[in-house]
Amino acid sequence: MGERRESKKRETRQRISDVATELFFARGFDAVTLDEIAAAASVSKMTVFNYFARKEDLMLDRQDDLKLLFFREAIRARPQGQSPIAELRVLMGKLREQKHPFAHFDRHAADFWRFVVASPSLEARLRELNDEAAEGLAIELAGPTPDGLARLAAGMIVLTVRTAREEAVRVFERGGSAKKANAVFFALIDQGFAAVQAMAATDARGQSP
């Protein structure tokens, strides 16, 4: 594959994505049609589908892969003897200290998430991505064919992150500060992760005494 071709593809993809994002924020996700996006990006509708399989992916593309990526990395690099869930708690603590964008809520992030939730189809796609992330995490926790407990733990972790995010956004909606929102976020994360960690540990004791 030639270099020039690839850069052009990246360019086209980026242009479509930019144009779409702009239109979406200006007029709402559901009010913008794919034909409009295609026209505004000077491509055909088919080309849009070429780069983004679904309309929703124009906004959520790679939104949730990110989460999984961080988790995977942390789990793989954890010190000997450390349980994966415990390591995820450590990771969240680090991200908090660094005010890392993935785990830091400002007004901009709140706007983004409120925008997503305002559209049923975007929210539906988000749920789907969450499920995919959970399955990926389960595999990370327990290998290629995770058992029920690993799936449950992974699902709970993803659910905790999601719920914590939702609550953080709610803080903004009630006029709270970014500081307060982040406090709420990490409080919930910690409670959820701790519960999952305890569940996994209980099982390990129960299975092999």
Site residues (CB under 8 A) for its own copies? 124, 127-128, 131, 147-149, 151-152, 155-156, 159-160, 162-164, 166-167, 170, 184, 187-188, 191-192, 194-196, 198-199, 202-203
Supply angle C-alpha 110, 132, 19, rounded to 5: 50
Query: Taking CB under 7 A as the rule, does residue 140 contact DNA?
Result: no
The single residue listed with the structure tokens 């305002």 is 118
- Contacts with 68 (C-beta within 8 Å, 6 or more apart), sequence order: 133, 136, 137, 140
Q: Which range binds DNA by CB under 7 A, 50-58, 97-105, 138-146, 161-169?
A: 50-58
**Residue from 14, 18, 28, 33 that binds DNA (CB under 7 A)?**
33
Query: Taking CB under 7 A as the rule, does residue 50 contact DNA?
Result: yes
Nearer to its own copies, 31 or 187 (CB): 187
Residue among 77, 200, 78 nearest 142 (CA) = 200
Nearer to its own copies, 38 or 138 (CB): 138
- Contacts with 86 (C-beta within 8 Å, 6 or more apart), sequence order: 197
Residue 144 to residue 164: CA distance in whole angstroms: 28
Q: How many residues sit in the footprint of DNA (CB under 7 A)?
A: 27
Residue 13 one-letter amino acid? R
Query: Taking CB under 7 A as the rule, does residue 46 contact DNA?
Result: yes
Between 116 and 135, how does the x/- string for binding to DNA read (CB under 7 A)? --------------------
Other C-beta atoms closer than 10 Å to the C-beta of 69 total: 14
Nearer to DNA, 36 or 87 (CB): 36
Residue 79 to residue 87: CA distance in whole angstroms: 8
Nearer to its own copies, 106 or 147 (CB): 147
